[in-house]
Amino acid sequence: MTTAVIPTPDAGTDDLSVWPASTARLPHGGLTVGGVDLAEVAERFATPVYVLDEGEVRERCRTYRDAFPEAEVLYAAKAFLSRAMVRWVQEEGIGLDVCSAGELELAVTAGFPPERIVLHGNAKSPRDLESALRLGVGRIVIDSPSEIARIAAAVGLEGRQKVMVRVVPGISAGGHDKIRTGTDGQKFGLSLTDGSALHAVARILAQPQLELTGLHCHIGSQITEVKPYLTALRRMVGLMARIRDAHGRVLPELDLGGGHGIAYRPGEPALDITALARKLRGELIEACAAAGMPVPRLAIEPGRAVVGPAGVAVYRVLAVKHTGDTVFVAVDGGMSDNPRPALYGVRYAPRLIGRASTASPRTTTVVGRHCEAGDVLAAGVELPGDIRPGDLIAVPVAGAYQVSMASGYNMVGRPPVVAVHGGTVRLLVRRETLEDLRLRDIGG
């Protein structure tokens, strides 16, 4: 499926800056990713289809490993998980954080070492904890006081489980209210300001079945500045010093979570990972020196920043409709495979692929096929004025929180995921069929 590519036009005329680094243009107006023509992928696997650039995923894992050589880097599986993704992450030397028994068991059955996995969750089910203890998960992050006794009881008198405490450091950061998790008044973690985090630490230290290895925080998602992380780090080190003073316990680990922002459209800001690593390291050394404490091992949890820019969603246009001054371009997917625009108003930069167009661009609104007025994939975007049914539209930066959040709305079936690499394409996750949906319904 490899095809010759053409030279890149002048900068600014056809910006591919948010696409995978392997993306190249074709003479007929198409694009290749990983050496594979996206239009050929659409023909072979039908649409909607999600294309994941294996090389981009691996390179982003290496970027984190190079930037944080002394830290523990954990891929946030909630962004996207499959058996292939598990293998790529493991081979690149990255750990995992998971949020459920489902994510955990998929990772372990795919061969990932359980001791390199961290289990999160604000409301862990009995099955979540049973799976974690049975499989030997590395750490469980305690999110509420009730989990302390539950985990200790599940471990049993002869067992011992490493745990961390999720702390809310009182910091507002992130791209939208619904993904800001560092402030009091939301569902995650234990507050630093009201003393509940310190109280939970005292209770854990009193449980011989639990080994407290450190503190954890996650201040939000889609953060593009370093400063909020430095503020969180200082507050967490301050709490570690208070724990030392109150209990004589020096904690060896500090996990600052993820939430590293990426650009979804050309010109948008993204978090500078190299600058983040350098400034976190300097701040950690300085804060620990001021507190008279040894420097704990740092951990971070990137998800979106690893897989988001590696993904491309490809749709086929079903209808073009002019309503007043608005041109609606309806495609064969929508909020069932990408709920993010409806949930918190994210914006994308879709592009016509598969044919060349000389028509002048026109402002359009790309909408999905679902029976919701809010099923809008991209509002106010420029597409060729001659766009028509049958055309293909590709949406970059589609690797994170799209397929992983996909639903069964309108029973259209979730799309397949294919990997591209070195001019080859292979199916990772097959399309959900109508037969799959019927088999789940056993009533009558």
Catalytic sites, residue numbers: 371
Q: Cβ neighbours of residue 261 under 8 Å, at least 6 residues apart?
A: 175, 221, 222, 223, 224, 269, 270, 271, 304, 305
Four-residue CA torsion sign, 415, 419, 425, 427: negative
Beta pairing class for 49-53 and 311-323: antiparallel
Rounded-to-integer distance, Cα 170 and Cα 399, Å: 30
Identify the three-state secondary structure at position 211.
strand
- Annotate 223-248 with DSSP letters as a single string: B--SHHHHHHHHHHHHHHHHHHHHH-
Identity of the residue numbered 295: V
Q: What is the dihedral of CA 421, 423, 424, 428, to 10 degrees?
A: 30
Closest CA to 47 of 332, 274, 425: 332
Angle (CA) 71-147-105 rounded to 5° is 60
